[in-house]
């Protein structure tokens, strides 16, 4: 049977750079930082007091007040991003197509704020005061569930959870469902709302995040020798993936083709990458193989690029091991320099940025890169976006536990 081709027909995003796709791209294009002091909760006693917050977000713009109260912030983000993507794609569920449309939206940590709030209630007021909506507001699969219920999509519906690789897995697996003929259209991505005292304290405890409180906007500095950890961020991003024949038949705008999906495990350590980026390299190689392309066909890599010492070096090594001499002809950049790390939503928002970069033929920057680490010696598009040919882009996502995902996206040319 001929394998179906998968294209992108819609995108949505809620991020530290803004509440929609135009705001996200304007922030990327102008090398803006979305990182600043945390305002939504009391962090005065924490080592890290800044992050990539979503600002001016009103969930009542996307759902009624009763449903806002019954759902965690990570679900609010997922619904907002999905609504934008679905609207862009022009998707409407009908009795004829509802079973052909599915949803895969992941979250790395789910409703942390809801859990913490109800733990305080349990301690201070007793078990009878714990909310009956605590569990459905907290569990990671409910973002995907709520989007399907809101829009009436009755196809495949589930939620991957693989730390920072979560939403890249969601996009890759959603594409596989289309290729296998299980669904025609998939709403795929991720959402995260981890800017809470317990979330920040946990990452402080394992020494993963920056403590550069005196200069939040410059704290995320991937590939720079002065980097001191990643910057925690929140938000959501969603793609509408569609069978090519379906997209053409209904006259949809096609923004890119998803041509490759690679995934692997480091089988090495709970937080540190495998030496030399060996596992990451295997994921990139698989993405190239499933796409049927050569390393030299790739123009741009949106790096995982977290701004951690070991991670940035390992990823640079992985890119060099896969691409050889061509690695020095690639443009490589980290969008986390501008937004921070959206954890379970990172892979999706970075894949969206790849699609936007392809459509605008503009290479996104790595900001705050002023003293490159000698072990990170590629072209990281330092500090300013620049025009550049992008026919094929790779988006990398690597998560705690050794989860590695690479997605390959190609410029659409009818």
Quick one: average pLDDT of 91-113? Answer: 97
Judged against a pLDDT cut of 90, whether residue 414 lies above it is answered with no
Task: Locate the domains of the chain by residue range.
Answer: 6-249, 262-410
Q: pLDDT tens digits, residue range 290-315?
A: 999 999 999 999 999 999 999 999 99
What is the C-alpha separation between 57 and 76, in angstroms, rounded? Answer: 9
Listed residue (138, 336, 323) closest to 224, CA to CA? 336
pLDDT band of 86, cuts 50, 70, 90: very high
Q: pLDDT tens digits, residue range 346-377?
A: 999 999 999 999 999 999 999 999 999 999 99
Q: pLDDT tens digits, residue range 177-190?
A: 999 999 999 999 99
The one catalytic residue among 304, 354, 376, 403: 304
Percent of the chain with pLDDT over 90: 99
| pTM of the predicted structure, to 2 decimals | 0.97
What is the end-to-end Cα distance of the chain in Å, rounded? 23
Q: pLDDT tens digits, residue range 375-402?
A: 999 999 999 999 999 999 999 999 999 9
What is the C-alpha separation between 257 and 175, in angstroms, rounded? Answer: 10
- The rounded mean pLDDT for the chain is 97
Q: Does residue 354 have an active-site annotation?
A: no
Judged against a pLDDT cut of 70, whether residue 1 lies above it is answered with no
The one catalytic residue among 341, 354, 376, 403: 341
CATH of 262-410, one of 1.10.510.10, 3.40.47.10, 3.40.50.2300, 1.10.287.990: 3.40.47.10
Q: pLDDT tens digits, residue range 214-267?
A: 999 999 999 999 999 999 999 999 999 999 999 999 999 999 999 999 999 999
Instruction: Give, in order, the Cα–Cα distances in Å from 71 to each of 102, 134, 202, 308.
Output: 21, 8, 23, 33
Q: What is the CA radius of gyration of the chain?
A: 20
pLDDT band of 2, cuts 50, 70, 90: confident
The one catalytic residue among 76, 151, 159, 164: 164
3-state secondary structure of 302: strand
Quick one: average pLDDT of 33-55? Answer: 97
Asked whether 164 and 341 are in contact (CB, 8 A), the reply is yes
Q: Say what the pLDDT of residue 279 is.
A: 97
Asked whether 295 and 284 are in contact (CB, 8 A), the reply is no
Q: Say what the pLDDT of residue 52 is.
A: 98
Query: CB neighbours of 182 closer than 8 A, spacing ≥ 6?
Result: 102, 155, 156
Q: Say what the pLDDT of residue 147 is.
A: 98
Q: Say what the pLDDT of residue 4 is.
A: 95
Judged against a pLDDT cut of 90, whether residue 3 lies above it is answered with no
Q: Say what the pLDDT of residue 29 is.
A: 98
Q: Does residue 304 have an active-site annotation?
A: yes
Q: Tell me which CATH code domain 6-249 carries.
A: 3.40.47.10
Counting every residue, how long is the chain? 414
Q: pLDDT tens digits, residue range 7-29?
A: 999 999 999 999 999 999 999 99
Count of C-beta atoms within a 10 Å radius of residue 225: 14
Asked whether 317 and 364 are in contact (CB, 8 A), the reply is no
Q: Say what the pLDDT of residue 358 is.
A: 98
Asked whether 334 and 307 are in contact (CB, 8 A), the reply is yes
């Amino acid at each position: 049977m001929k394998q179906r081709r998968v294209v992108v027909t819609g995108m949505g995003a809620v991020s530290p750079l803004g509440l929609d796709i135009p705001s996200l791209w304007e922030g990327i294009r102008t090398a803006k930082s979305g990182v600043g002091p945390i305002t939504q909760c009391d962090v005065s006693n924490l080592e890290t007091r800044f992050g990539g917050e979503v600002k001016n977000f009103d969930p009542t713009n996307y759902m009624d007040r009763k449903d806002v109260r019954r759902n965690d912030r990570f679900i609010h983000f997922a619904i907002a991003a999905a609504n934008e993507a679905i609207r862009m794609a022009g998707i409407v569920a009908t009795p004829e197509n509802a079973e052909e449309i599915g949803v895969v939206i992941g979250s790395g940590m789910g409703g942390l704020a809801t859990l913490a709030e109800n733990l305080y209630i349990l301690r201070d007021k007793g078990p009878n005061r714990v909310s009956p909506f605590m569990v459905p507001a907290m569990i990671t699969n409910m973002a995907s569930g709520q989007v399907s219920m809101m829009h009436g999509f009755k196809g495949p519906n589930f939620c991957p959870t693989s730390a920072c690789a979560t939403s890249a897995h969601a996009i890759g697996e959603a594409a596989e469902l289309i290729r296998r003929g299980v669904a025609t259209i998939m709403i795929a991505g991720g959402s995260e709302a981890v800017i809470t005292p317990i979330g920040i304290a946990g990452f402080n405890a394992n020494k993963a995040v920056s403590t550069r409180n005196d200069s939040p906007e410059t704290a995320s500095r991937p590939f720079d020798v002065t980097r001191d950890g990643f910057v925690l961020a929140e938000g959501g991003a969603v793609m509408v993936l569609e069978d090519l024949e379906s997209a053409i038949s209904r006259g949809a705008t096609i923004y890119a083709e998803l041509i490759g999906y690679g995934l692997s495990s480091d089988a090495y350590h709970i937080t540190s990458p495998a030496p030399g980026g060996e596992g990451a390299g295997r994921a990139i190689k698989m993405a190239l193989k499933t796409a049927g392309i050569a390393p030299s066909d790739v123009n741009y890599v949106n790096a995982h690029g977290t701004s951690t010492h070991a991670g940035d070096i390992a990823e640079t090594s992985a890119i060099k091991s896969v691409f050889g001499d061509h690695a020095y002809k690639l443009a490589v950049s980290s969008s986390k320099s501008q937004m921070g790390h959206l954890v379970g939503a990172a892979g999706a928002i970075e894949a969206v940025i790849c699609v936007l970069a392809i459509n605008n033929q503009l290479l996104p920057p790595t900001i705050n890169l002023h003293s490159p680490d000698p072990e990170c010696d590629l072209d990281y598009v330092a500090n300013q976006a620049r025009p550049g040919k992008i026919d094929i882009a790779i988006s990398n996502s690597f998560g705690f536990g050794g989860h590695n995902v690479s997605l390959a996206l190609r410029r659409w040319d009818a």
